[in-house]
Structure 1
Amino acid sequence: MLKRKNSYCLKELLPYVNWVYFYHAWQVEDKTEQVRLRMEAEEIVSAISGRYHAHTIFMLCDANSDGDDIIIEDGTRLPMLRQQTGYGGGHSLCLADFVRPLSHGVTDHIGLFAATVDIGMETDFMSDGYERMMMQLIADRMAEAAAEKLHEDVRKRYWGYAPDENLTKEELFAVKYQGIRPAVGYPSMPDQSLNFIFSDVTGMKDIGIRLTSTGAMKPHASISGMMISHPKSCYFTVGKIGDDQLSDYAARRGVPVGMMRCFLASNLQ
């Protein structure tokens, strides 16, 4: 098992910022206004770069799949959800599909990660609504940029399964690299309460992440998830699930069905 913790100067993360999401959050489509907002954000990042940092933690684990669970080397099970309707008439996907089955007798690997920023980026700038929103959106972009840079370093160095990768930033944002980085709470892994397992395994608290009673992360500008190297891995949406999968998943998670119903409310039929 490899475990690594990093801190980043905010300015060094600017090349890894996907500004499309920044503009979308502002609901700004005018190109001139987008340029103005980006310039303002970059000036702010330069001004606060020595005061605040972004932080990541990464673990490379031996792993295998067992049904729809992913088992890592310490025996921890990461239950995954499977599409109950194959999109476009295709196979119903589950993230466990991209990890070598335990029955093959060959060990595979996955990465577990979390990324965040210093909490002060969300609490120290509250003088007015505009400043508060600007700083929150900058914090969000910095956390995502830290995850992007970490993933690049993982592919090329820490895990090293793509040492010769040489992509432009545009190609990075277009996910032209091998593998995927599914995040907890996102369409292929919608159960936010998985953060309780991820936190126990990775030690999210070591980079300043705390969890609420529902598994939400504080600071808000935080991301957690997996890194999968399978060359045919892809992102997908689990979508709606029935009571049969809800009960099965709750049993695998060791959580009462009623509680899991709350965690997965938006995915229930």
Structure 2
Amino acid sequence: MTERSAIRHDNPLPTPPFWGSKCLEQIPLRSVAPYINRTALYKFQWGFKPKGKSPEEYREWARHEVDPLFTRLLAQSDAEGILRMQAVYGYFPARAEGDELVIYSDPSGAAERCRFPFPRQSTARRLCIADFFRPVESQEMDVAAFQLVTAGQHASDYARELFEADRYQDYLYWHGLSVEAAEGLAEYVHKRIRAELGFAREDARAIPEMIKQKYRGSRYSFGYPACPNLADQDKLLELLDAGRIGVTLGDEDQLWPEDSTSAIVVHHPEAKYFGV
């Protein structure tokens, strides 16, 4: 028998506002902008390194030198529709069976819809994502949330046009913004889910602190150690009816458009990132 972790299952279960999925077709980029990780954007996507500056000196320098570029690109995107932020997300009845998360067709649990298998840690706490849900033996039906976000195909096409025109610096700026905007949109939708499930009040007040996972539960993206099977995204796309926002699963089980991310959202208070 698999040695399971000691995750407790006496946490209160939230009541979702609906079962199934919802589409957010037109999300203003300016609504997403506060959730964009500017440290990742400025330092790692755009290459603006501190170069000997202290953290305080770097923040002051970035405020004068890089923030105006960020603001200008947001305004250009708004004016020209370059980044087209869209999302689908939803809530599904679920229970755990061993290392698998079972998704049901309705809250009665009469019919199984699909399963998501997850790996288990071989050391440490022997965690597995399935551990954070009520087991199949339980009389209670748990809830799993899934989300899928995209910056849109046009963002990728625009960046490619800049590259082909030898406008490499502009390409770097737009490609980096598209990548981090998609991540910011994932944070934005995750916060919406926490609000709809009734515990967003537990979030850190400052967004930069919140995006360091200072909130209840966790969002596990496919392709990372706790949720490594990219091919399982086909089930997520079907659950969320992803065609409504034009997202498909392409070669090597990668999402297309490329600036898209998917995740399972776990509400259990003990759920945090972990490796396997």
Is 1:156–1:164's contact at 8 Å kept on the other side of the alignment? Answer: no
Q: Which amino acid aligns with 1:16?
A: Y
Quote the residue 1:5 is aligned against: 23
Give CA deviations for 1:59-102 in whole Å, capped at 9, x if unaligned: 11111010010011222101111122x1xxx2211111111111
Q: Does 1:117 align with 2:117?
A: no
- CA shift, 1:105, in A, is 2.2
Cα distance in 1 for partners of 2:216, 2:237 equals: 26
Give CA deviations for 1:179-204 in whole Å, capped at 9, x if unaligned: 10110112221221121221122122
Quote the residue 2:264 is aligned against: 226
Cα distance in 1 for partners of 2:156, 2:28 equals: 17
Residues 236, 165 of structure 1: alpha-carbon distance in 2 compared, 3 angstrom cutoff: closer
SS in 1 for 2:75: helix
**RCO higher in structure (CA 8 A, sep ≥6):** 2
Cα distance in 1 for partners of 2:149, 2:178 equals: 11
What are the residue-to-residue correspondences of 1:1-269 with 2, within 5 Å?
1-6=19-24, 7-22=26-41, 23-30=43-50, 31=58, 34-35=62-63, 36-50=65-79, 51=81, 52-74=83-105, 75=112, 76-84=114-122, 86=123, 90-125=124-159, 126=162, 127=165, 128-157=167-196, 159-162=197-200, 165=203, 167-238=205-276
How many correspondences in the alignment?
233
SS in 2 for 1:102: coil
Is 1:161–1:229's contact at 8 Å kept on the other side of the alignment? Answer: no
SS in 1 for 2:252: coil
Residues 190, 160 of structure 1: alpha-carbon distance in 2 compared, 3 angstrom cutoff: same
**Aligned-pair identity (%):** 21
Is 1:156–1:165's contact at 8 Å kept on the other side of the alignment? Answer: no
Give CA deviations for 1:27-66 in whole Å, capped at 9, x if unaligned: 4322277443443122111111241421111011111010
SS in 1 for 2:251: coil
Between 1:229-238 and 1:210-219, the stretch displaced more is 210-219
Cα distance in 1 for partners of 2:61, 2:36 equals: 18
Q: Which amino acid aligns with 2:23?
A: K
Structure 1: stretches of 5+ with no match in the other structure: 239-269
Cα distance in 2 for partners of 1:145, 1:10 equals: 10
Is 2:20–2:240's contact at 8 Å kept on the other side of the alignment? Answer: no
- CA shift, 1:140, in A, is 1.1
Q: Which amino acid aligns with 1:138?
A: L
SS in 1 for 2:263: strand
Q: Kindly report the root-mean-square deviation, in angstroms, between the aligned alpha carbons of the 2 structures.
A: 1.9
Q: Which amino acid aligns with 1:60?
A: Y
